[in-house]
Amino acid sequence: MTTSAAVAARIEQQPREAAPFVKWVGGKGRLLSQLRPLLPSGVEHMRHVEPFVGGGALFFSRRPGRALLTDINPTLVAAYSAIRDDVEGVIVALRGLAGRHSKESYYQVRERYNQGRRVSTSKRAAMFIYLNKTCFNGLHRVNRKGEFNVPVGSYKNPRILNEDGLHAASRALKDAQLKCAPFDALLEDAKPGDFIYFDPPYEPVSQTASFTSYARDGFSQEDQTRLRDVYKALDRRGCKLMLSNSDVPFIRNLYSTFNIDTVAAPRAINCDAKKRGKVSEVIVRNYQ
């Protein structure tokens, strides 16, 4: 084997870095370089907690030894559990869906998914990932009945199955605790010294800018205020806290007693391409 071939072989054999296995509104993949410098000193020794895990970009980039990941979306949490516990089953089911992908197949899968027929956890996770990878803009949205209602995306060749990526995600999740729970459940689960990253549905920057319907009931200003109250309670408990949200007066006023930094975030979801670009977001911390 030539030297260059040997190097290539070693690179190929190295474990792939973990990354989100689903696209998610507000995903932090493009903000990681701005978030990492804001992490607390000694974070590598803390339990990593995310009550709005979504795509989990920060978790996967850090790969902490101890983690509690929660979300109110039961299908998302079930998908995380399936990736952790039966990644091969997910891959087999997803391979079949990928091989049959078409516009017609998408709507057939979406109908079966919404009917909630009894299938294995791994097969349902594969359906969830398939719809996420092939729907319009990767937008997870449900109607008042809790049905996924996003139309098919206009992708020429979507990458539906990424086996290496799923295996890497499974390894990262190996020791993570997963829960389907609302954010205020942290008042029972959080411990002094935990590092908790809040990435809730953002407060809209305008009346037409809300993408909060990721769960059946959306996320209101009353919910934002309840979240602030939980944040304050966990601050008193001795947790290290970091929170992302829109840079709007309402959010700044809620967290005015804490440290607030701003970051420039790309806006990826907008029906008008001309309105896609960078927007200001706030990062709220209870530490320097």
Domains of the chain: 15-285 (3.40.50.150)
Give pLDDT, residue 138. 83
40-53 mean pLDDT = 98
Give pLDDT, residue 12. 37
How far separated are the first and last CA of the chain, in Å rounded? 52
pTM here is 0.87
From its phi and psi, is residue 19 left (phi > 0), alpha (psi between -120 and 50) or beta? Answer: beta
- Closest Cα partner for 85 from 163, 171, 21? 171
Q: How confident is the model at residue 268 (pLDDT cuts 50, 70, 90)?
A: low
